[in-house]
Amino acid sequence: MINTDWAKRLSYRSDIDGLRAIAVLSVIFFHLSPKRMSGGFVGVDVFFVISGFLISSIIYNELETGSFSIGQFYVRRIRRIYPALFTVLASVCIAGWLLLSPSDFVLAGKQIVGGSTFVANFVLWSQSGYFSVDAAKKPLLHLWSLGVEEQYYLMFPLLCVVLYRIKARWVMPSAFLAIAVASMIVNVAFVGKYSEATYFLPFSRLWELFVGAGLALALQRDLKASWEDRLPAWRSLLGFLGFGLLGFSLFHIEQDFPFPGWWALLPTFGTAMVIAAGESSWINRHVLSFKPLVLVGLISYPLYLWHWPVLSFVRAADRVQGVEFSHFLKTAIFAISFVLAYLTYRLVEVPIRQVKGNEKRRRGALWLLGSVSMTGAFGMLVVLTGGFPSRAPSAIVALDHDYGSDASRAYREGTCFLRSNQAAAAFSPSCLDGMQGGSPQPLVFVWGDSHAADLMPGFRSLQQASGVRLAQYTTAQCAPILGLVVSRRPYCASTNSAVLDRVRALKPDIVVLSASWDSYDVNQNPALAQQFLTTIEAIETAGVKRVVVIGSVPAFTNTVPRLLVNELYHNIKRPAPHRLSTSLLKPHDDTMLRATVQKAGAVYVPLFDVLCDQSSCIVTTGSSWQNVVIYDSNHFTEHGSILVAQHIWPAILHPESLVDQIRD
């Protein structure tokens, strides 16, 4: 069934370690400088193929020789994966205690639990979404890929044992092909609508591992001669083609692409082609077997484990202490990660691998299993205690809060504030207020992205006194501009068309348009400004008498709570300042937006003038998280929304009204 000569050829391949090095270095370079290597994240896909190939090769060989044992397989996996994993998890526990705020520590605690139980991909999927925190605040974000691999390891050996007992030659490859095709179908079918789930979960990733497993099976079943001997003239060409696909993937695929999707075929098949070319092909022999590259490949696993926590905690220091994330610091992160990886390999992994005797190895595996479980128990304790808030000064704890959950509720996420993977049909009937009593009430129709949704709590607070009805039709990262196409937002254009149809049907008295205008280059792109002008004119043609455009909100270079914490660290005895300097803002200029609105005969309401004077902007009205006005860098809290609405509501309802500035 399987070529027993493969056992002789199943030896160490330095070129595969070189391929591992390219995979891990591409991931690191992407995380440090995504603009220079836009597709570096596909290094994970390279790892999937390599893992599928190597693990499958070992299992096939042991099945053929009658030496395969499920227990021994998992002992080997524990001895291979757990030593470095425990070292990193324990370090994250310590660093999190020292550096993270209580809410961030709770988030890390959940990731520690997920990482220790190999369900990190499910945990991180649950933490994804519009209101999820910045990726740099998730120190174990990268463990999602380890979770996918371990879930594969749980089922694949059992599947091989069952299929091997069926002696028909075609059963195993047919089963592998069926699983891979089914997984690929799930991947392609759902990547546009459920991008986070497709990225993190195993159902849409298994095909990549099965590509490696299928390649190993094909090579082992080559009864006449090895691939290298059958097609010697094609080996180097195959290696070059595979390497070219990898290079194209690393520099041309971007994170805004629907990935994995069809795009994942490039790095996956590129990797398979390089492996299939054999270690004697030109690329494998002269590039991938280059000794420094092989050295990096040998430590690629601990290097992968270390680089992201180091980067994440440096970012935490950046947020807390204001450390500049410079090129020098990026180089230092890489160097520190490399040193930690080498020390982990030399002082932790190698000694454990050198343990002799099956009984000692089994006992060692149990100790490793218990050690990693202890980190998971600590992570659970972090979650249950709320991140041990007694670690931090009370003034800082007072500002610490999970603002994202509050925003999700206040914005009505999923019903009237659609996620990027929801079409217009997902708008709930509750997005339009019903008639109250017998007398007609003016209808204020709010249309835009998250910067329209964050105004709704404030509008709601003033609604009853004003005697108006409200309609909320807002969509994540989709400005109210007809024909706007946004990467990875497949329903933006169709949703805007559907919302305009609602305007035509309802004929509201006032339409309020609000968005993060600078994010769509409305103030820099005349063509887009013209599209926006056309949108306003279409609303007016629909019979709307008053169109109000809310100007850009001040956007800070960091989250406001973090900037306030920075101020407190400089003088912990002083209360949090109510205002922050305008020097902490990103560049802002609404000139083109204002001109476009005025040309259309609509009303422009300048939010910037409401929140800021020439030197500072109001960010909180007290010392507690309940008093914060902006919860991230540019979105209002519920308190902030109510505060701002009180100052702009008159200008929305009455043409002659002017906005006034919020005072301390």
Domain ranges in the chain? 22-391, 403-552+588-609+638-653
- What average pLDDT does this structure show over 626-644? 92
- What average pLDDT does this structure show over 368-372? 95
Residue 154: the pLDDT is 92
The helix-helix angle for 14-32 and 265-277 (nearest 10°) equals: 150
pLDDT band at residue 554 under the 50/70/90 scheme? very high
pLDDT band at residue 369 under the 50/70/90 scheme? very high
pLDDT band at residue 398 under the 50/70/90 scheme? confident
Residue 205: the pLDDT is 96
142-156, 268-282, 318-332, 428-442: least confidently modelled range? 318-332
Average pLDDT, the chain: 89
Residue 522 has pLDDT above 90, yes or no: no
Residue 512: the pLDDT is 97
- What average pLDDT does this structure show over 371-393? 94
As a three-state string, the secondary structure of 437-501 is CCCCCCEEEEEECHHHHCCHHHHHHHHHHHCCEEEEEEECCCCCCCCCCECCECCHHHHHHHHHH
Residue 130: the pLDDT is 55
Q: Are 209 and 145 in contact (CB under 8 A)?
A: no
Q: What are the two backbone dihedrals, phi and then psi, of residue 22, each rounded to the nearest 5 degrees? A: -60, -40
Q: Are 183 and 203 in contact (CB under 8 A)?
A: yes
pLDDT band at residue 133 under the 50/70/90 scheme? low
Residue 656: the pLDDT is 66
Q: Mind listing the pLDDT tens digit for each residue in 19-35?
A: 999 999 999 999 998 88
Residue 659 has pLDDT above 70, yes or no: no
**Which has more pLDDT, 327 or 91?**
91
Architecture of the structural domain at 403-552+588-609+638-653 = 3-Layer(aba) Sandwich (3.40)
Residue 451: the pLDDT is 95
Residue 599 has pLDDT above 60, yes or no: yes
Q: Which of 83, 63, 18 minimizes the C-alpha distance to 354?
A: 83
Residue 533 has pLDDT above 60, yes or no: yes
For 622, the token pair is 């007290």
Residue 224: the pLDDT is 38
Residue 129: the pLDDT is 64
The Cα 487–Cα 490 span in angstroms is 7
Residue 375: the pLDDT is 97
Residue 661: the pLDDT is 61
Q: Are 266 and 249 in contact (CB under 8 A)?
A: yes
Q: Which residue's structure tokens are 């070059």?
A: 240
**Which has more pLDDT, 427 or 8?**
427
- What average pLDDT does this structure show over 375-397? 92
The Cα 462–Cα 445 span in angstroms is 15
pLDDT band at residue 541 under the 50/70/90 scheme? very high
57-61, 297-301, 334-338: least confidently modelled range? 57-61
Residue 175 has pLDDT above 70, yes or no: yes
Q: Are 524 and 587 in contact (CB under 8 A)?
A: no
Residue 140 has pLDDT above 90, yes or no: yes
- Residue 276 CB partners (closer than 8 Å, separation 6+): 215, 219, 227, 238, 242
Number of neighbours of residue 539 by Cβ within 10 angstroms: 25
CA angle, 136 then 139 then 143, to 5°: 115
Q: Mind listing the pLDDT tens digit for each residue in 565-589?
A: 888 877 777 788 899 999 999 988 8
Residue 518 has pLDDT above 70, yes or no: yes
Q: Mind listing the pLDDT tens digit for each residue in 204-246?
A: 999 999 999 999 988 876 643 455 555 566 888 999 999 999 9
Residue 439: the pLDDT is 67
The overall pTM is greater than 0.85: yes
- What average pLDDT does this structure show over 248-268? 92
Residue 3: the pLDDT is 47
Q: Mind listing the pLDDT tens digit for each residue in 154-170?
A: 999 999 999 988 877 78
Number of neighbours of residue 206 by Cβ within 10 angstroms: 25
Residue 2: the pLDDT is 44
Q: Mind listing the pLDDT tens digit for each residue in 84-103?
A: 999 999 999 999 999 888 98
